[in-house]
Copies of this chain bind each other. A is one copy, B any other.
Amino acid sequence: MGKRIPVAVLGATGSVGQRFVQLLANHPWFEVAEVVASERSVGKPYREATDWRLDAFMPATAGELIVRDYGDELHSPVVFSALPGEVAEEIEQRMAREGRAVLSNTSFHRMDPDIPLLIPEVNADHVAAIEGQRKKRGWSGFIATNPNCSAIHMVLTLKPLQDAFGLDAVIVTTLQAVSGAGYPGVPSLDMIDNVVPYIGSEEEKMAEETRKLLGSYENGAFVDAEIVVSATCTRVPVRDGHTEAVSARFTQSGVTPDDVIAAFQSFKGKPQELGLPSAPTSPIVVRPEKNRPQPVLDRDTERGMASVVGRVRPCPIMGVKYVLLGHNTVRGAAGASILNAELFKVEGLLPV
């Protein structure tokens, strides 16, 4: 590796923060130079401040970093944010004002009219909103966000269908993994021999984020796609990997499961064109088996960066239905922010 761009991770000791540190450990372009966390951790080596829970050992170099305070002057031009929603607003905006590129996994700014909500395979052109954002807010840096962990995988699979057949409506039921709620997150008494059929705000996010993601950026404004999403979100006893049962209705008639499979399999986006380091070879992997995808088997497909689809078949009411699975803390969180940063780098938009 040559000289890498120093990056800071905000909220570095939490679940998504740890995933950032893990995924960036051997990144060819970026290097974790600063870890920032709440008061309790400040001043300690990251190794001591963090109850590392992703595998046996945290990356050695990250472990030596001293945890910084949110108020500290950072030197990294690129910032990955895994901040809790309540504190994200002020800190992320300050970082952008200071000229940094803020790649945020937090929900706070996702629906702002001048902040892009990005999936590089889906709406890379929304990057154009950065210019207006800077002008309007007087920032030299910027904020870009990635979607909710359930929305991102669903939208990745909807994009080729929208392009090929026109998309009108989607009914989805999710079976979501517990890592989506962080640590300590979901109590084990809720998850042993049980399902919880509710996740706060999740169903609303799936509807509104989908419309923004599949919409356009025209004349300086985001225009929502006219797609109705009806979601039921549940929590199931799975560590990682959200499963989603999707029924899609198209504007075009006569769309068959084979048409849908073909659209999935031929789907490529900007990250694949550009060969971005974190890009999956295939953003959508179709499994032919009748009982796939399954979280424990399929969540690490393409290093967790792909959506895995199976059971594509007719829906007698909507058109076509299928089951998808995606890793919720890789492509559904930290990996999504990192792929966005890679896109910005290639676009020449990082302040480096």
Contacts and interface: CB of A to CB of B under 8 A. Distances in A.
Interface residues of A, number: 61
Contact of A187 (B184, B238, B292, B298): B184
Contacts of A232: 173, 245, 311, 321, 323
> Assembly of this chain: how many copies?
4
A189 B317 CA distance: 34
Interface in A233-256: 234, 236-239, 243, 245, 247, 249
Contacts of A265: none
A293 to B, nearest CB: 7
Contacts of A184: 184, 187, 189
Contacts of A198: 290-291, 311
A72 to B, nearest CB: 29
Interface stretch (A90-98, A175-183, A342-350): A175-183
Contact of A230 (B295, B296, B301, B318): B318
Interface in A156-210: 169-171, 173, 175, 178-179, 183-198, 207
Contacts of A245: 173, 197, 232, 234
A55 interface: yes
Contact of A194 (B229, B294, B301): B294
Contacts of A310: 197
A243 B197 contact: yes
Given A193-B237, A198-B291, 18 more contacts: A53-B297, A171-B171, A173-B232, A178-B188, A179-B189, A183-B187, A184-B189, A186-B188, A188-B188, A190-B294, A192-B193, A192-B239, A193-B238, A198-B290, A228-B317, A232-B321, A234-B323, A236-B236
Which 4 interchain pairs have the tightest Cβ spacing?
A173-B173, A184-B187, A188-B191, A198-B291
